[in-house]
Amino acid sequence: MGTTISMKVLVLCALVAAAAAWPSFVDDLSFQSDVVASSTAHKQQDINHLLDKIYEDTKYPDLQEIAKNFNPLGDTSMYNDQGAAAEVLMKELNDHRLLEQHHWYSLFNARQREEALMLFAVLNQCKVWYCFRNNAAYFREQMNEGEFVYALYVGVIHSKLGDGIVLPPLYEITPHMFTNSEVIDKAYSAKMTQKAGTFNVSFTGTKKNKEQRVAYFGEDIGMNIHHVTWHMDFPFWWQDSYGYHLDRKGELFFWVHHQLTARFDFGRLSNWLDPVDELHWDRIIREGFAPLTSYKYGGEFPVRPDNIHFEDVDGVAHVHDMEITENRIYEAIDHGYITATDGHTIDIRQPKGIELLGDIIESSMYSPNAQYYGSLHNTAHVMLGRQGDPRGKFNLPPGVMEHFETATRDPSFFRLHKYMDNIFKKHTDSFSPYTHDDLEFAGMAVDGVAIDGELITFFDEFQYSLIDAVDSGESIEDVEVNARVHRLNHKEFTYKITVSNSIGSDHLATFRIFLCPIEDNNGITLTLDKERWLCIELDKFFQKVPSGTHTIHRSSKDSSVTVPDMPSFHSLKEQADDAVNGGHDLDLSAYERSCGIPDRMLLPKSKPEGMELNLFVAVTDGDKDTEGHNGDHDHGGTHAQCGVHGEAYPDNRPLGYPLERRIPDERVFDGVPNIKHVVVKIVHHPEHHD
């Protein structure tokens, strides 16, 4: 009897000990499971499944199970903030305060943005992938689809957990934002009749509208993705408490939009159009815009007629408010300082000044005084977007200018950014011009610049899937439906830059390559001072130059300004599924960033008879340019205009150097041995060129 009791006691003790250890055991299992299931292939597959048919309930059993049973507050140890962000979002959800599903979403709507950022905060606080995935799966079924997509994209971009993941192209996830309504209707008809089809997407407008000649630029889906992704990489709502500082964000805001405007003007030059004129608050908006697209839910994008005056927009701003904001920014430039919230002044006539100026013009959370300097850029986007219904009389949804993915489709986008660009130019013109000594890289000379290959532009065709544009039906199978777009492309080419290094040893050099117009649209030769503001950046790279004379070869496809075509959503799903099923990992690092000019648009469209342009190469001291930066300086990707995630911008020089300051005397540049320009000719072939 005593032995039996002793055995029972021992068993009971063992059970108690096991029960006490159980939570730790479960945690260990969860951790081990996360290690196994958080390879790049598994993470890519999870993201693919989360974004598949975003306007419908998920069809994947594992995500269905998570959405049904997961409790975001069940284990707060999986968050860095012990679940504080999740608690905020869950309270909003339980109080029924979140935007319903099947409703339009705009980042410029303050409340909708707040909700999207609540979910971003939850994802950003996750320590491990199962936390990120499970929260995404749960809130996918609870939140507005647009808010969810935005939060998921910026979550993957900014969380270390997202490393290695390639986000599917948005034009296949939310096709309605990029595709004419007529084509969407054809996709629905194809599914209903079970007849696969590929449908041509036309640019908006007709030949009666001269702006139609450059619609290929603003309506290019790759350019749309570049613009929206830049604003995801450098969001105006970002605070450093999210994890790190966005280095030179304000300056990059200036530079990336300056380059978009310069490229748009290049396109106008080749199509016999005047440079785009800036917007004025007290003058008419000459160009109207009919988007010919519709929201998935919420009706058509509003139309703006030709020749309308700016009107006050209820709940947004008065036109006079915008003029006051503009005047305050110009006063800051004239005075050379910004007044901070506490009244102290911040000098902007110094190298970091343009970054501060960008912060107040956008404005971002980095603005030293948003209350005084307002939000010129962001508010202007909304003002333009609402001019079709400024009083809200017809309860129209937001216009294309109220979405970064659609804004460049509207010609007024470039007028707005020419207006912003001229403000920045007034600031940069306040600096003294560079002297010969400022520009010279002693011991380094550019002896020659040539192009290996022909510089030829042409239009080709590209297809993308509309599968996610049409609803699923229990008795109706999906059929293949695609959109076909006309887009600009060019032949690949190689730069051959001959450099002489008499420094005496290998030396790191920075190669800066620009393409500049020689004449304006009237055939008048431009001065270097006028030309330099119209130049487009083709490349910037760092390379060791051995002692002596050497020729550096650099392929156009390696440009730090551009990105290749993103893999289709179908391709991403296939590759991830194959890797998971085959037990091997997945390397899609070449496509990890979507921020960057499409590589096929590196060269601007030319004319059939050709256009002669200046190819400008400056070689500067790489050791000074990269001082304070670690690494081998082979940054890859698109660091020139998109920086490096979570790191300092890899070049200490001002963006656009050495062309960002005024040049009253061209002879200063002519006598600098490390700077050279040659005339090149680009020819446009109207038909596809092999």
Note the pTM of the prediction, 2 decimals. 0.93
Tell me what pLDDT residue 633 has.
65
CA angle 336, 338, 344 (to 5 degrees): 115
Angstrom distances, CA of residue 617 to CA of 265, 305, 413, 675: 21, 44, 30, 6
Which residue reads 């921020």 in tokens? 595
Find the farthest-apart pair of alpha carbons in the chain and give their distance in angstroms, rounded.
112
The first and second tokens of residue 164, run together, are: 């290695």
Tell me what pLDDT residue 27 has.
39
pLDDT digits (tens, 9 = 90+) for 492-501: 999 999 999 9
Tell me what pLDDT residue 11 has.
37
By C-alpha distance, which of 451, 621, 625, 610 is closest to 538?
451
- CA atoms of 302 and 462, how far apart (whole Å): 27
Q: Residue 269 half-sphere exposure, CB side, CA atoms within 13 Å?
A: 26
> Which residues of the chain carry a pLDDT beneath 70?
1-37, 631-636, 688-690
End-to-end CA distance of the chain: 94
The first and second tokens of residue 616, run together, are: 């400008």
In this structure, how many other beta carbons lie within 10 angstroms of the beta carbon of residue 425? 15
CATH 1.10.1280.10 fits 205-430, yes or no: yes
- CA atoms of 392 and 315, how far apart (whole Å): 9
CA angle 392, 419, 206 (to 5 degrees): 65
How do the domains of the chain map onto residue ranges? 40-165, 205-430
Tell me what pLDDT residue 252 has.
98
β-partners of residue 613 are 517, 680
Identify the H or E element spanning 340: none
* Strands 481-490 vs 611-621: parallel, antiparallel or unpaired: unpaired
Backbone dihedral angles phi then psi of residue 111, each to the nearest 5 degrees: -70, -40
CATH 1.20.1370.10 fits 40-165, yes or no: yes
Which residues fall within 8 angstroms of residue 314, CB to CB, at 6 or more apart?
A: 390, 391, 392
67 close to 141: Cβ distance less than 8 angstroms: yes
Identify the H or E element spanning 452: strand 444-452
Tell me what pLDDT residue 634 has.
67
β-partners of residue 476 are 473
The first and second tokens of residue 430, run together, are: 């306040």
Tell me what pLDDT residue 629 has.
83
